[in-house]
Structure 1
Amino acid sequence: MKIIELNLSHITQIVSVEQQSHLTPWSEKTIEGSFGSRSHNFGLFKKAKPLDELVGYCFTDLVAGELSIENICIAKQHQNKGHGGQLLGQVLEQAVVLNADQVFLEVRASNQAAIALYHRYGFVECGRRKQYYSIPDSNLKEDAIMMSLKLG
Structure 2
Amino acid sequence: MNIRQMTFDDLPAVMAIERETFPLDAWSEGMMRGELAEQPRTRHYVVAEVDSEIVGYAGMAAAADQADVQTIAVLAAHRTRGIGSAMLTVLLDEARKRGAIEIFLEVRSDNPGARSVYERFGFEEIGMRRRYYDDGTDAVVMKRKLHG
Indicate whether the TM-score tops 0.5. yes
How many residues align? The count is: 143
Query: Who is 1:42 aligned against?
Result: 46
Give, in angstroms, the shift of residue 7 of structure 1: 1.5
Give, in angstroms, the shift of residue 98 of structure 1: 2.0
Which blocks of at least 5 consecutive residues in structure 2 are unaligned? Answer: none
**Which of structure 1's runs of 4+ aligned residues deviate more than 3 A?**
none
Instruction: Please say if 1:78 is aligned against 2:78.
Output: yes
SS at match of 2:132: strand
Query: Who is 2:53 aligned against?
Result: 53
Q: Deviations over 1:16-62 (max 9, x none)?
A: 11111113211111111111131111111112xxxx21121112111
1:3-152 superposed matches below 5 A: 3-23=3-23, 24-35=25-36, 36=38, 37-47=41-51, 52-135=52-135, 141-152=136-147
Which blocks of at least 5 consecutive residues in structure 1 are unaligned? Answer: 136-140
Taking structure 1 as the reference length, the TM-score comes to 0.89
Give, in angstroms, the shift of residue 134 of structure 1: 2.4
Q: Distance in 2 between matches of 1:91 and 1:30?
A: 20
SS at match of 1:131: coil
Of Structure 1 and Structure 2, which has the larger fraction of its residues in strand? 1
Give, in angstroms, the shift of residue 80 of structure 1: 2.0
- What is the CA RMSD across the aligned residues, in angstroms? 1.1
Q: Distance in 2 between matches of 1:57 and 1:124?
A: 23
Give, in angstroms, the shift of residue 118 of structure 1: 0.2
* Percent of aligned positions that are identical: 29
Q: Distance in 2 between matches of 1:126 and 1:89?
A: 21
Q: Distance in 2 between matches of 1:93 and 1:64?
A: 15
Taking structure 2 as the reference length, the TM-score comes to 0.91
Q: Distance in 2 between matches of 1:40 and 1:84?
A: 15
